[in-house]
């Protein structure tokens, strides 16, 4: 099923248009899970962030609260701490529990348990979830207020749409080293490997000529924000363009995007879906890379989807690193 092209009617407000666009795009990418729109009075994580802010004393604020203009607000990386001190050294037990709840509510009910398992496992050597670091940028009630949580294999944001036109509040990162640093070809126990399995269904459906366009040699380097820098280009990107796929093949790519979005809460997933659709689905390109084929089994561990206003980069060698950056098209 192809989602119809989304055009903004002049008779509705931009907010109404985006809400309808998000619902239509979600139906195309995410299926029935997010297809029905359920209005919410507020976003739970944002409400909790404001409550957390109000519990902070002056010493805690001096450590955790930063200006909206601080460049760390939009930084993304695979293993970093946004401030030096972990939450266990700054927050009391009740405040740490609030941070855990904020983190949980940034993810879908279906996947939040797996996401939590991944974060706690990958940060176990440093003390688990209490080793995470957070920062709060701006002030609540000003229209510029954002929460960022970081650690090994984690960059997550909660912004109440303060960062205009950015899904997830800006670029994000997730990953998992399940059994060991160097995972086996089938990545047993990796909570995100299902995304690569779905992506390889697309490659399996390509004909010989399409595979020549889609399968490339060397993948991009991981360099923080540069990893998912948006090009604005509608053509000439790496891999095969969606316009060169059949309707059935496009449907498979939509399922891949749906799987990429499903770990996250409904609001963020639907916003990302609407921006991807608004940027033109046919402008997306999908590429697979043979230079990092774990086990040399022809199941591609490294792949990406890129368009003018969206990049998803999945690196499954030696374990999973996944980067995402989606914005409203210019």
- What integer is the mean pLDDT of 268-282? 97
pLDDT at 43 > cutoff 90: no
pLDDT recorded at residue 44: 83
pLDDT recorded at residue 30: 75
Mean pLDDT computed over every residue of the chain: 91
DSSP 111-168: THHHHHHHHHHHTGGGTSGGG-EEEEEEETTTTEEEEEEEEBTEEEEE-TT-STTBGG
pLDDT digits (tens, 9 = 90+) for 115-127: 999 999 999 999 9
Q: Grade residue 16 by pLDDT with cuts at 50, 70 and 90.
A: low
Residue 158 bridge partners (DSSP):
147
Distance in angstroms (rounded) separating the CA atoms of residues 304 and 190 = 18
Q: Grade residue 32 by pLDDT with cuts at 50, 70 and 90.
A: low
Percent of the chain surpassing pLDDT 90 = 85
pLDDT recorded at residue 167: 98
Distance in angstroms (rounded) separating the CA atoms of residues 311 and 282 = 14
Preceding omega of 318 cis (within 30 degrees of 0)? yes
pLDDT recorded at residue 36: 52
pLDDT digits (tens, 9 = 90+) for 199-257: 999 999 999 999 999 999 999 999 999 999 999 999 999 999 999 999 999 999 999 99
Q: Which two tokens stand for residue 151?
A: 């650690």
pLDDT at 14 > cutoff 70: no
The DSSP code for 219 is: P
pLDDT at 28 > cutoff 90: no
pLDDT recorded at residue 96: 97
Q: Are 164 and 149 in contact (CB under 8 A)?
A: no
pLDDT at 176 > cutoff 80: yes
Provide the whole-model pTM. Answer: 0.90
What lies within 8 Å, CB to CB, of 193 at 6+ separation is 186, 187, 316, 320
pLDDT digits (tens, 9 = 90+) for 125-134: 999 999 999 9
What lies within 8 Å, CB to CB, of 288 at 6+ separation is 199, 203, 214, 215, 216, 239, 300, 302, 303
pLDDT at 19 > cutoff 70: no
- What integer is the mean pLDDT of 30-51? 69
Distance in angstroms (rounded) separating the CA atoms of residues 330 and 326 = 12
Q: Are 246 and 254 in contact (CB under 8 A)?
A: no
Whole-angstrom CA distances from 285 to 214, 220, 244, 272, 280 are 9, 14, 10, 17, 11
């Amino acid at each position: 099923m192809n989602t119809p092209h989304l055009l903004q009617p002049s008779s509705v407000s931009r907010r109404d248009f985006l809400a309808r666009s998000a619902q239509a795009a979600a139906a195309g990418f995410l299926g029935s899970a997010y297809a029905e729109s359920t209005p919410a009075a507020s976003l739970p994580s944002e409400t909790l962030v404001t409550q957390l802010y109000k519990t902070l004393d002056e010493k805690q604020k001096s450590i955790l609260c930063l200006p909206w203009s601080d460049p760390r607000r939009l930084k993304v990386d695979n293993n970093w701490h946004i401030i030096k001190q972990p939450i266990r050294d700054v927050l009391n037990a009740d405040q740490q529990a609030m941070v855990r709840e904020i983190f949980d509510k940034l993810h879908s009910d279906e996947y939040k348990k797996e996401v939590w398992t991944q974060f706690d496992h990958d940060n176990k050597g440093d003390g688990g979830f209490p080793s995470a670091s957070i920062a709060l940028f701006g002030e609540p009630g000003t229209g510029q207020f954002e929460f960022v949580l970081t650690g090994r294999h984690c960059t997550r944001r909660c912004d109440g749409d303060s960062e205009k036109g950015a899904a997830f509040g800006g670029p994000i990162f997730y990953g998992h080293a399940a059994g060991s640093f160097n995972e086996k070809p089938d990545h047993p126990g990796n909570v995100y490997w299902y995304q690569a399995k779905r992506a390889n269904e697309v490659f399996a459906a390509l004909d010989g000529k399409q595979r020549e366009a889609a399968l490339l040699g060397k993948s991009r380097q991981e360099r923080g924000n540069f990893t998912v820098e948006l090009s604005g280009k509608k053509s000439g990107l790496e891999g095969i363009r969606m316009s060169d796929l059949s309707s059935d093949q496009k449907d498979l790519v939509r399922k891949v995007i749906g799987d990429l979005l499903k770990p996250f809460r409904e609001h963020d997933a639907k916003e990302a879906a609407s921006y991807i659709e608004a940027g033109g689905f046919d402008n997306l390109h999908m590429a697979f890379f043979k230079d990092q084929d774990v086990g040399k089994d022809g199941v591609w561990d490294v792949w990406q989807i890129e368009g003018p206003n969206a990049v998803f980069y999945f690196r499954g060698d030696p374990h999973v690193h996944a980067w995402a950056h989606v914005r409203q098209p210019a």
